[in-house]
A and B are shown apart, each in its own frame.
Chain A
Amino acid sequence: MRTLYERLKALFPLGELTEQRPDMGFVTVPAEHLRPLLTQLRDREGYTHLVLLTAVDWIEEGQFQLTYLLCNRGAARDLGVRVMIPRPAVGLATMEGIHDLWPTAATYQRELREMFGIDFPGSPRVDEEFILEGWIDIPPYRRDFDTRKFSEENFNHRPGRETRDPAQYMKQQLYPDGK
């Protein structure tokens, strides 16, 4: 993993290598170097398989992290390539697609468009609904999406629900006069 990293580092401005396991590592790369790096990995280094593409919402930093996990089947090794992109407070984030490198990426990109609001212009069917039919709120995997509020507003409680606040209930039971 380390030798691969050294080879790549000579070509691309990579961040530190995180060796999660002997057969799995992660590197960070600026967004504009992603495609050349992925192409290099796919065509020269044997990382022919796109395992997955996923995102993390670093809301405090105003960034999304995209992770492209690649597999070298021959060497039984995985390498995750991380890219940080700006996360606008409202509206879509944008990233260049890689569906031309791996057609399966289109599905992941469509999912990220729906769940995080990250757009991949030109990606096939990227603006079509994926699993959320008739979604009316901000993308639900964004951390400012209030799941609790959404469920309270959109799903009725069955009649007969009631609850007690533990501290208040204990007061009522143990010291009702407040003393």
Chain B
Amino acid sequence: MSFKDVVSPFTAWKNLFRDPVTIRDPLNDRPGAARYRGFHQNDIEKCIGCGTCETICQNGAIDMLPVEGRATKQGDSGLRPRIDYGRCCWCALCVDVCMTGSLSMSNEYKWVESDPDAFRFTPGVDAKHWDHAELGYRRPEGHRLTAEHRLHMGEMAPEERIGSFAEIVDGYDVAQAKLEADRCVACGLCVATCPAHMAIPQYIAAIRDGDYERGVSLLYETNPFSGICGRVCTHKCESACASRHEGDPIAIRWLKRHIMDQVSVEQIRRAVGTAAPSSGRKVAIVGAGPAGLTAAFDLAKRGHAVTVFEALDKPGGMTRFGIPEYRLPYEAIDQDVDIIRSLGVEIRCNTRVGSDVTLDELREKHDAVLIALGLQLGRATRVPGTDHPDVRKAVDLLRQATAGEDFGTPRSAVVIGGGNVAMDIARTLARLQKQQFGAVKVIVTALEDFAHFLADPDEIKEAGEEGIAVFDARGPQQVVVEDGKVTGLRTWKVKAIFDEQGRFAPSYDETDELFHPGSMIVEAIGQMTDTALLGDALTEKLAWTRGRLQVDAGGRSSEPWLWAAGDMVRGPDVISAVADGHRVAASIHTAIMTEQAK
């Protein structure tokens, strides 16, 4: 035995002066380990009631239930998870999958109770002493069951796209779309927010399964403009997506487009099916935009004879004559419209109601008339100088650009407005300038500051990449005209857009003045409906509310034979127009099948 062997046990003596690691009173005081998985905590303000915890629970321990005082709203079901601890196995999959990070587990695990039902409660709602416990299981940093970021969408480079009107966005290929679809937890919170209430989780599941026929059937159940919406929808659904809380929302719009990209016209026709046998009823629709054609689609499917009257030479309405081709190629519009035509819908282009045919004639020859006129007239700023012929309206220029008319591309232009239409005309002008003069000189001036901008962030970013200068919080004061020629726009800095009552009444800082040079000024501050075709007598007879035709929930006007739908009723938005088309078609169908509408 060596000396060391004799002495070494005494080295343990130094531990006498250490704090004990054991628990003094283990019978009463038994804290869980720091990351112990004990009873749940739920931050119910953060929770959105998506039910993903319930779905993943392998023991069926979680129920989603309404909570008193918590209302259902966009992006929040108002439900909250109730957990049955008789079934919970404390695996924490619910915490790991939680889309908002609201759900966690405290390290509290001891609870003695004689009533077994007490062990079923709603964390965060039914108060417990561990609700604010600091310790417990939280999803570790970077540990995610669903991918955080959306699949990158390929785009044409700015220098390449500015020279043409070719479509910018590539679309996903099958592998990319599957990966993006895999990120969706199918909670369905988005469905309520979509104006057409499309079956979003179901069609995303169809992509995951590679079953595009099922996908296109699901799309056409609610939206005959899926090719168009897959490209230019305002995708409000994505603002309600559960994935947006701790990552990017699912690219729902691009996935819809992906389905349409993958199917043949034959497959779409099969999905759409055929029209019902003829009902003997006839419906006239004025305007071949999304609302009018959606109604035509629904009514034709139900066996009614539908004729659509369109003043312009091609159908599509604002999707064709408002939205530039680089965002929405004309073939995509043609495909959607052709499917609607294949159901027997007759579309008469170049037929302006009011001059080529009168509304009275339509009324006499049909059981019902639907007007879906859209918002075709540009609003004016009425600032001094706007009566000059080189001050134009964005909607007119966009229509002319689609028609291929030469409206005299200016070498430099100033656009007034900050919405998507302003960006559309600015980017259209930029392309025309690039083609004709080789250089882009377009300025956009918007009332709103960048924090409250109306146009999509993508539009602003892409416009910037294309050489367009965007000035925010600028109010137009005067179009400057020298020697009979427009030389530019004078603006003041906007202090506030609305007054204290919330009415539109911009106030300006007059000391902050800018001059934006340009030989053409384009107003893009909003649109209104041209209701001239109604004629004086009918206009007088109809009920109106604040300049808009008054209609009931089904789109029926105060005249029983006349319905209205789309942008002229709902304001500008493709998917809202589609939803409105469905609503109005249902109302017309009921009316013409049950009553003598005339």
Contacts and interface: CB of A to CB of B under 8 A. Distances in A.
Interface of A: 147-148, 151-152, 155, 157-158, 160-167, 169-171, 173-175, 178-179
Given A164-B79, A170-B72, A174-B192, 11 more contacts: A147-B58, A157-B60, A163-B65, A165-B188, A166-B64, A166-B77, A166-B79, A167-B201, A169-B66, A169-B79, A170-B188
Interface string B445-489: 000000000000000000000000000000000000000000000
A169 to B, nearest CB: 6
B60 A151 contact: yes
A170 B59 contact: no
A167 B117 contact: no
A150 to B, nearest CB: 9
Nearest to B52: A166
A129 B553 CA distance: 67
Contacts of A164: 64-66, 77, 79
Interface string B58-78: 111011111000011000011
B87 A155 contact: yes
A171 B79 CA distance: 13
B487 to A, nearest CB: 51
B582 interface: yes
Interface in B115-137: 116-117, 120
Which of A163, A166, A179 counts the most B-chain CB atoms under 10 A from its CB? A166
A169 B77 contact: yes
B129 to A, nearest CB: 23
Nearest to B78: A173
A157 B49 CA distance: 22
24 contacts: A148-B59, A151-B58, A151-B87, A152-B60, A155-B59, A157-B60, A158-B86, A158-B117, A163-B64, A164-B64, A164-B65, A164-B77, A164-B79, A166-B50, A166-B64, A166-B77, A167-B77, A167-B191, A170-B77, A170-B191, A175-B192, A178-B197, A179-B583, A179-B586
Contacts of B108: none
B189 interface: yes
A148 B60 contact: yes
A151 B72 CA distance: 31
B248 interface: no
A127 B189 CA distance: 49
Contacts of B57: 148
Contacts of B49: 166
B51 interface: yes
B424 interface: no
A163 B201 contact: no
B579 interface: yes
B63 A162 contact: yes
B197 A175 contact: yes
A175 B78 CA distance: 15
Counting from the closest, the 4 A-B pairs by CB-CB distance are A167-B188, A173-B72, A163-B63, A166-B77
A159 to B, nearest CB: 9
Contacts of B188: 165-167, 170
B291 to A, nearest CB: 14
Interface string B194-218: 0001000100000000000000000
A107 B120 CA distance: 38
Give the interface size class of chain B.
35 or more
Contacts of A157: 60, 84, 87
Interface of B: 49-51, 54, 57-60, 62-66, 71-72, 77-79, 84, 86-87, 116-117, 120, 187-189, 191-192, 197, 201, 553, 579, 582-583, 586
Nearest to B553: A179
A158 to B, nearest CB: 6
Contact of B192 (A161, A165, A167): A167
Nearest to B196: A179
Contacts of A170: 72, 77-78, 188-189, 191-192
Contacts of B59: 147-148, 151, 155
A4 B188 CA distance: 54
B87 A166 contact: no
Contacts of A161: 63, 84, 120
Contacts of B86: 158
Given A155-B59, A164-B66, A171 B187 contact: no
Contacts of A163: 54, 62-65
A120 B63 CA distance: 42
Contact of B579 (A158, A166, A173, A179): A179
B565 to A, nearest CB: 12
A171 B192 contact: yes
B117 A160 contact: yes
Contact of A162 (B65, B77, B192): B65
Contacts of A162: 63, 65
A51 B281 CA distance: 81
B197 A166 contact: no
A169 B191 contact: no
- Among A152, A160, A164, A165, find the residue whose CB has the most chain B CB atoms closer than 10 A: A164
Nearest to B87: A155
Nearest to A172: B72
Contacts of A175: 192, 197
A151 B579 CA distance: 42
Nearest to A148: B58
Contacts of A174: 72, 192
A158 B84 contact: yes
B53 to A, nearest CB: 11
B530 to A, nearest CB: 27
Nearest to B74: A174
A130 B60 CA distance: 26
A151 B197 CA distance: 34
A170 B51 CA distance: 12
B85 to A, nearest CB: 10
Nearest to B580: A179
Contacts of A169: 64, 66, 72, 77-79
